[in-house]
Structure 1
Amino acid sequence: MPDIHVDRSQMAPSILPSDIPELSDDECLARLVRAVEAPDSARLDEVAALIGRLAVAIE
């Protein structure tokens, strides 16, 4: 019986925030630093998404 390979990455929803583009961990951290250095309540969603992106990388 031949082996059947299944790409499971396409089967599960992503746990990464969808509104953050593909960033390396360093790029994500740099964006978070810039967002925190210049506090702006309009950027709270971005800050939360970046923290979520980094938390996923740590797991």
Structure 2
Amino acid sequence: MPDVLDRSEMAPSILPADVPELSDDECLACLARAVEAHDSARLDEVAALIGRLAVTIE
């Protein structure tokens, strides 16, 4: 029987690295605020939040 698994050698997470740990509700709230602001400087944030939600849905 193998010893404790070393998870550091496993495949990387599919969650975007630049999005903080958020619950789904918190993520949706952040996304709503970012979209409501109509600020093109926040497009990367919007894309990351959408990507985080898409991973959750899969």
So what's the TM-score if we normalise by structure 2? 0.86
Q: Distance in 2 between matches of 1:7 and 1:55?
A: 28
Q: Distance in 2 between matches of 1:20 and 1:55?
A: 13
**Partner AA of 1:58 in structure 2:** I
Q: Distance in 1 between matches of 2:40 and 2:6?
A: 40
Structure 1: gaps (5+ residues): none
Measured after TM superposition, the shift of residue 7 of structure 1 is 5.6
In the alignment, which residue of structure 1 is the partner of 2:56? 57
In the alignment, which residue of structure 2 is the partner of 1:35? 34
Q: Distance in 1 between matches of 2:29 and 2:6?
A: 32
| Identity over aligned pairs, percent | 80
Count of aligned pairs between the two proteins? 56
Q: Distance in 2 between matches of 1:28 and 1:49?
A: 10
SS of equivalent to 2:20: coil
